[in-house]
Amino acid sequence: MSTISGNNKRIAKNTVFLYFRMFVMMIVSLFTSRVVLDVLGTEDYGIYNIIGGVIVLFSFLNAALNAATQRFINFNLGKNDLKQANSVFCMSLNVYALLSVVIVILAETIGLCFVNTQLNIPEERMGAANWVYQCTILTFIINLIRIPYNASILAYERMDFYAYTSLGEAVLKLLVVYLLYVSFYDKLIVYALLYTVVPLLITIIYKLFCIRNFEICLYRRTWDKHIFQGLFGFTGWSLFGSLATMSAQQGLNILINVFYGVTVNAAVGIANQVCGTVNQFVSNFQMAFRPQIVKDYAAGEFDRFYRLIFSSSKFSFYLMFLLTLPIMLTIDTILSIWLVDVPQYTAIFCQLILIILIIEATAAPLWMSVEAKGNIRNYQILMSCVILLNFPLSYMALNLGFPVYTVWCMKIFVTLLVFATRCWYINKKLGFPLKDYCKEVLLSIFMVSIIGLPIPLVIKMSIDGLWVNFISVIVTSVLVAIIDIYMIGLNSSERRIVKDILQKKVPFLSKKQ
């Protein structure tokens, strides 16, 4: 019991550090993106967004190996096998170095040809676009080498390090914006070069921290065939899911570019910026419990393993609902306040992408349970086949003349289909208690959504005046969501925990008690 209590306290503590990190990065990100859009202009901002999308297509390898590294380090730490964890770390660095060479070759041949012949970029900006492309490749390689160190920090649950490092990263990004303002050279090229320096410095800090604090991060020349096979066995099947996800995310971005050009890509970039910032709230919460899911499975604590999946899935949705409801209802006002010039389609893109993020956040603990088990071949094949429906469905819609935002409607449909397929799979193959999950999680989510939406909608449609309407909708949405979640979304034991926390933390309630 004390171990469970200690784990819960660790998750709560790590969540606090991660939210501090997120708030710092969110403020800096929103400020810098507004300034960068203003300085670069819609066209150059769209070019930067689409070029970044091309190189991200290569990152499906990155994402697969990242998942493998984190899984195997977490698993061995859960079994308290430090020697094996160190071997996994060393082999990961070896593999990532080899992978970097492969990525550079592919990027400088196939990728470079695609950028110069297939993308819809104005001729006079092709030179700057190629500079951006080269800087993006270098940034990608730097982030690739950082992954084993990042995985080690997550495995040891040192989330405080993320919070402190974010302060330095925020200062560097603000410095980039200042230098962009005062630069007399091509600002798109300057921006790409400066944003390559930031991840390089952060990666150096990560490496020094890990070497000084974690014995598993002391690199030694080794080649373990068994670990290599394990990493690549896990990675090989993860590639299907990662590649499918990249096609859904960045492939749609390229598809929009082909049909509509860089101006609409600017709208996609802004929408992704807004939604990515919102998603950080849930991502930081999920990052805090993800190591515990793998460690509980490795230690054979299956009751806690399932309860953690249930609670994390439910509260991931509640957190997203609380954040996205007021944003979705006031997105036009938010964009007009935030940006000098709002690209067309930005508001509808934001609303549809936020719906996708809500579904994905709720489903995330389910795929983490499969990752903890490690046997992912059949799972990845099935999920990849469903996710890959995004691209052909979106292409058909655009080719038939449907509006550009239809691609996100298609993705919502596919995301729901993926959620349903994932639930079916883990029930059949992993013995997951699906009936209990539907009753305790999905039913609660459905009721909270249905009950919490009407009142803010009525307020939005009935009150005149920009600022009065904006403030009224925000306040009403938050209050209704909180009451709705507490009264409908929480069971009696969860409400009792909330009451205990409030009585301990709020002096007025404590005295009344």
Please write down the HEC assignment for all residues of 405-426: CHHHHHHHHHHHHHHHHHHHHH
Render the burial of 419-449: b for 16+ CB within 10 Å, e for the rest: bebbbebbeeeeebeeeebeebbbebbeebb
- CA torsion angle for 70, 73, 79, 85 (degrees, to 10)? 180
Side-chain half-sphere exposure of 323, counting CA atoms within 13 A: 20
Q: Which residue intervals of 299-330 are DSSP H helices?
A: 302-329
In this structure, how many other beta carbons lie within 10 angstroms of the beta carbon of residue 184? Answer: 6
Give me the mean pLDDT over the 98-124 stretch.
83
CA distance 491 to 487: 8
Length of the chain: 513
Please give the pLDDT value at position 443.
92
Candidates 442, 458, 436; CA nearest to 306 is 436
Render the burial of 243-256: b for 16+ CB within 10 Å, e for the rest: bbbbbbbbbbbbbb
Average pLDDT over all residues of the chain: 79
Does the pLDDT at position 418 exceed 80? yes
Between the alpha carbon of residue 174 and those of residues 8, 45, 160, the distances in Å are 36, 18, 22
Give me the mean pLDDT over the 292-306 stretch.
73
Please give the pLDDT value at position 1.
44
Render the burial of 271-292: b for 16+ CB within 10 Å, e for the rest: bbbbbebbbbbbbbbbbbbbbb
Which two three-digit tokens encode residue 364? 């995330």
Question: To 5 degrees, how large is the angle CA 131–CA 43–CA 35?
Answer: 90
pTM: 0.67
Does the pLDDT at position 184 exceed 50? yes
Please give the pLDDT value at position 512.
47
Lowest-confidence region among 21-25, 170-174, 182-186, 390-394: 21-25
Candidates 177, 147, 150, 126; CA nearest to 64 is 147
Residue of higher predicted confidence among 279 and 315:
315
Does the pLDDT at position 178 exceed 50? yes
Which two three-digit tokens encode residue 236? 């090989």
| Position 59 confidence tier, pLDDT thresholds 50, 70, 90 | low
Residue of higher predicted confidence among 268 and 510:
268
Please give the pLDDT value at position 412.
92
